[in-house]
C-alpha cells in the first residue's frame, strides 16, 4: 500500500511542494527582522588610588627604597552590570622589577583589570623607582630597663644572649644605625629578672626606630641580677689598749683595703668616707709578727657589710729598734669650732685656710698617712669680735707626733659678733661660755694628752672638734695599710 503512495505521481508532487514551502519558511524566519530587539548598556568608570604592586625584585640582595608614587588613577569601560560587580581593590597596576639591580630608573606600569573590563586611560602610566643594595653589619645589643626595683635594691649589669646581632638595611640607612636595643619592664621587681625573648629594634642617633631593619636574631635572652644597693669604702684601722713598755708598733697591714656597705640610698649618701676595724694592742705582749682577725664596724642603718671581718698583720718590735722618719703633709684644712649664735668667724691667715704639717713616727706608718688622718682645729669659743691669733689643735694618729713639736701652729681669725659684746668677766666665764674662754680653749691639747703615750687622746678637745667638723672618723683612725690612730684610748 505504501509503495502505491510513493509511486503515485500526484502524491509525489504534493510532498515536494510541502518540503519546498517548509524550507522557504525556515530561511526567511532566520534572516528576517525579529519582532523585538535586546539592548546592552556600556559605561565608563573612574577609579582613584589604584595601588601599584611591585614584584620580581630579588629581595635577598635589594630593596625598593623609593617610588615617586604608589598609586594611579584609572578610567575603565565595560557593561554596567560588570562594572558594578567589582570593588576598587579589584583594580591594580603592576610594576615588574625582575632582573633589576641597584639604581634609579623609570618603568612602565601594566594594568591588572577584572574580566570584562577594558582600560580607557591610566595616570600615570610610568613610575620612577630607586633600588638600593642591602648591606649587613654586626651590632652589640643593649637592654634598657624601664622602671626601678623595690626600695633598697639596685639592678646589676644585664646578661644578654647573644650579645651581638646582624642588622640588614639599605646602605644609606645602615650607616645611620647607632643602637640595637630591647626594653624590659623592671618596675617593682624584687629578685633576678629573666626574660627569654626580648624583641630588638634598631635606632638612629635621633632615637628614631628604623622600621625596615631586618635583625637576626630578632630576639635575645636577658637576665638582670638584683642586689642591695652598695657603696665601696676604704677600710681604716683604729686601736684600743696599749702596748707594754719597751715595745713599739712597727707595721700594720690588712688583707682587705675596701669593703662594700649595703644599705638604702639615704644611708649610703650620708655614709662617711671609710669604715673601721679595731685592733686591741694589749694582746701583743712580745716582739714579733702576728695575724689577727678584726670585725668591720657596719655603719648605723646599713643592712650588711662585706667582708664582715679582715685579717690584719701586726709587727711589734722593741722600742729601740723603731726607726722614725719625718714627712710633711700639705694642704691640711683648718676647721673652725666654737662660734656662738650670731657670731661669724673667718680664717684670714693663712689665706688658703690650710696648713702643712710635718710629722714623725715609724717609717711604715708615716709613709702611709693621708690628709684624712690629721686634723687642725681653730677653737674660737669665747673670743670677742675682732681679729685673733689662735693656736690650732693638732690631732694625730697614735704613735705619730709632730716633728718640731715646739713650733705651734697658728691661724689668724676674724670674728664678727652680735651687737652685745661677749662676756669676759672671769667670775661668770664658765656660765656664759660653756665651751670655756679663748685661753682655756687653747689649753685643750694639754688636757687631751694621753697619759701613757704622750700622743693626743680620743677624749681630747682637738680630736673631738675634728670629728665634729670633718667626718666621724677624721683624725681618729688609720688606713688599711697600717696608719695608726689616736682617737682610741
With cut-offs at 50, 70 and 90, classify the pLDDT of residue 13: confident
Instruction: Say which CATH topology domain 325-416 has.
Output: RNA Polymerase Alpha Subunit; Chain A, domain 2 (2.170.120)
Residue 275 C-alpha cell reads as: 669604715
SS3 300: coil
pLDDT on residue 108: 95
- The domain spans of the chain are 42-124, 134-228, 230-318, 325-416
User: 343 pLDDT band (50/70/90 cuts)?
Assistant: confident
pLDDT 10s digits, 452-466? 333 333 333 333 333
Q: What pLDDT is stored for residue 69 in this prediction?
A: 92
Flag whether pLDDT at 430 surpasses 50.
no
Q: Nearest to residue 54, comparing CAs of 131, 122, 113?
A: 131
Topology (CATH level 3) of domain 42-124: RNA Polymerase Alpha Subunit; Chain A, domain 2 (2.170.120)
Assess whether the region 42-124 and the region 325-416 belong to the same CATH fold.
Answer: yes
Cα 257 to its chain centre, rounded Å, is 27
* pLDDT given at position 2: 54
Per-residue pLDDT, 419? 58
H or E segment and range at residue 62: strand 62-67
- Domain 134-228 CATH (choose: 3.30.413.10, 3.40.30.10, 3.40.140.80, 2.170.120.40): 2.170.120.40
CATH homologous superfamily of domain 230-318? YbbR-like domain (2.170.120.40)
Cell numbers linked to 260: 662594700
Tell me what pLDDT residue 470 has: 34
Query: Where is pLDDT greater, at 2 or 79?
Result: 79
* 233 has pLDDT over 80: yes
pLDDT range class, residue 198, cuts 50, 70, 90? very high
Query: Residue 12 is placed in which grid cell?
Result: 509525489
Are residues 324 and 360 in contact, defined by beta-carbon separation less than 8 angstroms? yes
Read off the pLDDT of each residue in 91-96 and give the average, rounded to a whole number.
Answer: 93
Q: Residue range 112-140: average pLDDT?
A: 93
Question: Is the model more confident about 265 or about 236?
Answer: 236
pLDDT bin (cut points 50, 70, 90) of residue 403 is confident
The whole-angstrom separation of Cα 451 and Cα 126 is 105
Return the higher-pLDDT residue of 227 and 99. Answer: 99
In the chain, what is the straight-line distance between the N-terminal and C-terminal CA atoms, in Å? 164
Strands (E), 281-323: 288-295, 304-306, 309-318
Q: Please give the backbone phi and psi of residue 81, each rounded to the nearest 5 degrees, phi first.
A: -65, -35
Average pLDDT, the chain: 79
Query: Residue 406, class by beta-carbon neighbours within 10 Å (0-12 exposed, 13-18 middle, 19+ buried)?
Result: exposed
Q: Residue 94 and residue 96: Cα distance in Å, rounded?
A: 6
What's the pLDDT tens digit per position in 363-387?
Answer: 878 887 888 889 999 999 888 889 9
Cell numbers that stand for 476 in this block? 681618729
Amino acid at each position: 500500500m505504501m509503495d502505491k503512495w510513493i509511486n503515485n505521481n500526484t502524491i509525489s508532487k504534493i510532498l515536494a511542494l510541502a518540503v519546498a514551502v517548509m524550507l522557504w519558511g525556515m530561511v526567511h524566519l532566520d534572516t528576517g527582522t525579529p519582532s523585538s530587539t535586546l539592548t546592552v548598556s556600556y559605561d565608563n568608570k573612574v577609579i582613584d588610588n589604584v595601588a601599584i604592586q611591585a614584584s620580581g625584585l630579588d629581595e635577598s640582595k635589594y630593596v625598593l627604597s623609593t617610588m615617586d608614587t604608589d598609586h594611579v588613577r584609572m578610567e575603565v569601560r565595560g557593561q554596567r552590570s560588570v562594572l558594578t560587580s567589582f570593588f576598587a581593590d579589584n583594580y591594580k597596576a603592576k610594576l615588574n622589577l625582575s632582573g633589576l639591580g641597584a639604581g634609579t630608573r623609570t618603568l612602565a606600569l601594566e594594568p591588572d583589570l577584572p574580566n570584562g573590563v577594558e582600560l580607557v586611560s591610566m595616570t600615570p602610566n610610568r613610575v620612577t623607582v630607586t633600588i638600593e643594595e642591602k648591606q649587613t653589619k654586626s651590632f652589640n645589643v643593649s637592654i634598657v630597663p624601664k622602671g626601678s626595683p623595690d626600695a633598697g635594691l639596685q639592678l646589676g649589669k644585664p646578661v644578654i644572649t647573644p650579645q651581638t646581632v646582624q642588622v640588614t638595611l639599605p646602605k644609606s640607612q645602615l650607616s645611620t644605625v647607632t643602637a640595637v636595643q630591647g626594653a624590659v619592664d623592671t618596675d617593682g621587681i624584687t629578685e633576678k629578672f629573666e626574660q627569654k625573648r626580648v624583641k630588638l629594634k634598631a635606632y638612629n642617633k635621633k632615637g628614631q626606630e628604623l622600621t625596615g631593619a631586618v635583625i637576626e636574631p630578632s630576639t635575645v635572652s636577658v637576665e638582670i641580677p638584683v642586689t642591695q644597693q652598695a657603696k665601696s669604702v676604704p677600710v681604716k684601722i683604729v686601736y684600743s689598749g696599749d702596748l707594754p713598755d719597751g715595745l713599739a708598733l712597727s707595721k700594720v697591714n690588712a688583707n682587705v683595703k675596701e669593703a662594700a656597705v649595703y644599705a638604702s640610698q639615704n644611708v649610703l649618701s650620708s655614709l662617711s668616707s671609710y669604715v673601721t676595724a679595731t685592733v686591741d694592742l694589749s694582746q701583743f705582749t712580745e716582739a714579733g709578727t702576728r695575724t689577727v682577725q678584726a670585725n668591720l664596724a657596719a655603719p648605723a642603718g646599713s643592712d650588711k657589710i662585706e667582708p664582715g671581718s679582715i685579717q690584719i698583720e701586726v709587727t711589734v718590735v722593741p722600742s729601740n729598734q723603731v726607726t722614725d722618719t719625718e714627712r710633711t703633709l700639705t694642704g691640711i684644712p683648718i676647721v673652725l669650732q666654737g662660734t656662738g649664735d650670731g657670731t661669724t668667724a673667718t680664717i684670714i691667715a693663712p689665706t688658703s685656710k690650710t696648713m702643712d704639717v710635718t710629722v714623725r713616727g715609724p717609717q711604715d706608718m708615716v709613709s702611709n698617712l693621708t690628709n684624712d688622718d690629721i686634723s687642725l682645729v681653730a677653737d674660737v669659743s669665747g673670743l670677742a669680735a675682732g681679729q685673733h691669733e689662735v693656736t690650732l689643735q693638732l690631732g694625730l694618729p697614735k704613735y705619730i707626733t709632730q716633728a718640731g713639736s715646739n713650733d705651734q701652729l697658728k691661724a689668724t681669725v676674724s670674728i664678727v659678733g652680735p651687737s652685745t659684746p661677749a662676756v669676759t668677766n672671769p667670775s661668770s666665764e664658765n656660765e656664759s661660755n660653756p665651751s670655756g674662754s679663748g685661753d682655756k680653749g687653747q689649753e685643750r691639747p694639754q688636757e687631751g694628752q694621753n697619759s701613757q703615750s704622750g700622743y693626743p687622746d680620743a677624749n681630747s678637745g682637738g680630736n673631738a672638734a675634728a670629728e665634729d667638723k670633718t667626718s666621724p672618723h677624721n683624725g681618729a683612725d688609720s688606713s688599711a695599710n697600717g696608719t695608726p690612730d689616736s682617737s682610741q684610748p
